[in-house]
A = this chain, B = another copy of it.
Amino acid sequence: MDVTNRIEQALTDAIGLAAVTGCPPRLAEAMRYAVFPRGARVRPRLCHSVAAACGEDNPAATAAAGAALELMHCASLVHDDLPCFDGAATRRGRPSVHKAFGEPLAVLTGDALIVLAFQTIARVNCAPDRLAALTMTIGQAVGVPFGIVAGQAWECESEINLAHYHRSKTGALFVAATAAGAASAGADPEPWRMVGEKIGEAYQVADDLRDAAADEDEIGKPVGQDVANGRPSAVTELGIDGAIFRLQGLVRGAIEAMPPCENGHELRSLIMSEAKRLVPAKLAQSAA
């Protein structure tokens, strides 16, 4: 089975836990709706590539770790879309969960997906010390003090710490994706964190570039939002060319940060192809 199918299968298996008699059927439906159809599945793909680089020996553990990362990502989207945050009416071209199922079920869907991520890891048959490493890695990426929930909470402070904000809100799940990939293969996750950190920053810069220079059709959401909302952005800070230069440096940095490993070519190509995919078409030439 290729990686795409492994990722979808693992998510289908995880969500299947809700598809039993005795589980409220609309909650089960809302959870499925929040996770399918698939997005880019960036974090699980990264996790799988790192596991392969580390000589993956327990594919079920990799798949569970990848699914847990994606479930956490989906949970954060559901809660971030709530009226008390972004109040987003649509997500990926269709109604957001709270629009489709109501606000109470949106809150509960996010909660249930967070718990399901941990259940998914705990259910896998792996060496018990890997379970501890995976649970810690996923917990750190989502909770306090530096996970995505903490990142989102910076928006509720009167003074925002931008470095912590970005590192937590966007970076934490990328760091977890590389660390969990290593842990699921029984490798030491620590040296892989820096790789995830660079990749997370690269996505942030690419996102800023897309907001500044892509067409709305290309990225499927309104552009120019950073300037319109006075949000900090690599483009307003460095200009288009400067941001592209920064992106290239981060991509190179991510590859250079990879610790010695058996089988790193898949991860290297993933990083390179993502860097290409995410740069807006009209900038692709100057980025090449």
Residues on A facing B (Cβ under 8 Å): 17-18, 20, 22-28, 31, 75, 79, 82, 84-85, 101-105, 107-108, 110-112, 114-116, 118-119, 121-123, 127-129, 131-132, 135-136, 139-140, 142-147, 149-150, 152-157, 161, 164
Least CB separation from A17: chain B residue: B144
A18-B145, A119-B139, A128-B128 given as contacts; is B111 within 8 A of A110 (CB)?
A: yes
- Tell whether, in the assembled complex, residue B112 and residue A84 are in contact, meaning their CB atoms are under 8 Å apart: no
Interface CB pairs A-B, < 8 A, 19: A17-B145, A22-B146, A22-B161, A24-B157, A26-B157, A31-B144, A102-B156, A108-B149, A108-B153, A112-B143, A112-B149, A112-B153, A115-B149, A116-B143, A116-B144, A118-B118, A123-B136, A127-B128, A128-B128
Number of copies: 2
Which B residues touch A22, using CB under 8 A? 145-146, 161, 164
Least CB separation from A147: chain B residue: B115
Least CB separation from A105: chain B residue: B156
Least CB separation from A160: chain B residue: B24
